[in-house]
Amino acid sequence: MTGLPLAGVTVVSCEQAVAAPFATRQLADLGARVIKVERPGSGDFARGYDETVLGMSSHFVWLNRSKESIALDLKQPPALDVMHRLIDRADVFVQNLAPGAAERLGLGADALRARDPRLITCSITGYGTSGPYRHAKAYDLLIQSETGLVSVTGSDDAPAKSGIPAADIGAGMYGFAGILSALYDRERTGEGTKLDISLFDSLIEWMGYPLYYTRYGGEAPNRTGTSHAAIAPYGTYACADGQKYVLSIQNEREWKAFCDVVLDMPELAEDSRFDTGSRRVSNRVELDTLINQQLSRIDGATFAERLNSARIANARQREVADVIDHPQLTARHRWREIGTPAGPIQATLPAITVEGREPRMEPIPSVGQHTHDLLEELGYNAVDIRALERDGTF
- Work out whether strand 244-248 and strand 314-316 pair parallel, antiparallel, or are unpaired: antiparallel
CB 131 within 8 A of CB 125: no
H helical segments located in 149-198:
166-189
Cβ-Cβ contacts under 8 Å for 107 (sequence gap 6 or more): 14, 74, 80, 83, 87, 93, 95
Q: Quick check: 185 and 243 in contact, CB under 8 A?
A: no
Minimal CA–CA distance to 247: which of 302, 322, 314, 188?
Answer: 314
CA dihedral 348, 55, 322, 233 (to 10 degrees): -90
Q: Which helix (H) or strand (E) segment is 120 a member of?
A: strand 120-125
Based on the residue annotation, tell me whether 228 is a catalytic residue of this protein. Answer: yes
The catalytic residue among 84, 135, 228, 326 is 228
Please name the helix (run of DSSP H) or strand (run of DSSP E) that holds residue 107, with its range, or none. Answer: none
Instruction: Give the β-pairing of 335-338 and 345-348.
Output: antiparallel
Catalytic amino acids?
228
